[in-house]
Amino acid sequence: MNPERPYRVPQGHVEGEPRINAPAETIGTSKLELAQGDITQQETEAIGNAANSRLAGGGGVDGAIHRAGGPSIMQELRAKYPQGCPTGQAVITGGGRLKARYVLHAVGPVYSGKPKDAELLASAYRSCLTLCSQHGIRTVAFPAISTGVYRYPVEEAAPIAIRAVADYLKTHPEITLVRFVLFDPATYQAYRHALATASHRV
């Protein structure tokens, strides 16, 4: 880092303001970028939620999204998906009082240390992106699914998440922006490190 130009942590995009030093990468015509902040404040068309398979609400980012979005999100979940959602999949609702028009409720794996964890985590992101393509959603923000209550080590989860999104964007130019919104500095740094490595580019 240049000491005369210290890195400024982006707090999420404010419409009309230039983004300063936001780590980002162009994939085809799409953009993949990182921000540190609160996903409930994002103005992307959709935001991702780290839900449980009962879609029953919880703490962490799930609790924050339901609090900020209001009761209509849970009402819609109960009405449309009474059977819940399998691990590695996602369902869509409206965004209630959120700035985002939609919420993608993704169910990541509870970390077990087995190889299937990585496949289920990648699948959760892919499932969200497929919903975006189906619903004409061009811009989406994701939290670090599974890295909280579900205990997925963020150093392992970050490259899997970035790889899954980058691979999808390579063949889906209809999605123009994917932003990972990381809540705490350690998670943000792990994602920065993962984006800086080459594994998702091949």
Piece in contact with ligand APR (CB under 6 A), picked from 20-28, 38-46, 97-105, 161-169: 38-46
- On the 0-12 / 13-18 / 19+ scale of CB atoms within 10 A, 3 is exposed
Amino acid at position 15, single letter: E
CB neighbours (10 Å) of residue 162? Answer: 22
Closest CB 7 distance from ligand APR, rounded Å: 20
Binds ligand APR by CB under 6 A, chosen from 102, 125, 150, 180:
150
Binds ligand APR by CB under 6 A, chosen from 32, 187, 191, 194:
187
Size of the site for ligand APR (CB under 6 A): 26
Told to check if 44 binds ligand APR by CB under 6 A, we report no
Chain positions 66 to 105 lying near ligand APR, rule: CB under 6 A, are none
Binding track over 118-147 against ligand APR, x by CB under 6 A: -------------------------xxxxx
Q: Are 61 and 183 in contact (CB under 8 A)?
A: yes
DSSP state of 57: -
> What distance, in Å, lies between the first and last C-alpha atoms of the chain?
26
62 annotated active-site? yes
Enclosing H/E stretch for 90? strand 90-94
Helical segments of the chain, H only? 60-69, 72-80, 116-135, 154-171, 185-196
Instruction: Name the residue nearer to ligand APR (CB basis): 83 or 171.
Output: 83
Q: Are 180 and 34 in contact (CB under 8 A)?
A: yes
Binds ligand APR by CB under 6 A, chosen from 162, 181, 190, 195:
181
Told to check if 61 binds ligand APR by CB under 6 A, we report yes
Question: Which residue among 38, 62, 117, 167 is the active-site one?
Answer: 62
Tokens of 141: 């923000």
Which residues does the annotation mark as catalytic?
62
- Contact set with ligand APR (CB under 6 A): 38-40, 50-52, 58-64, 108, 143-150, 181, 183-184, 187
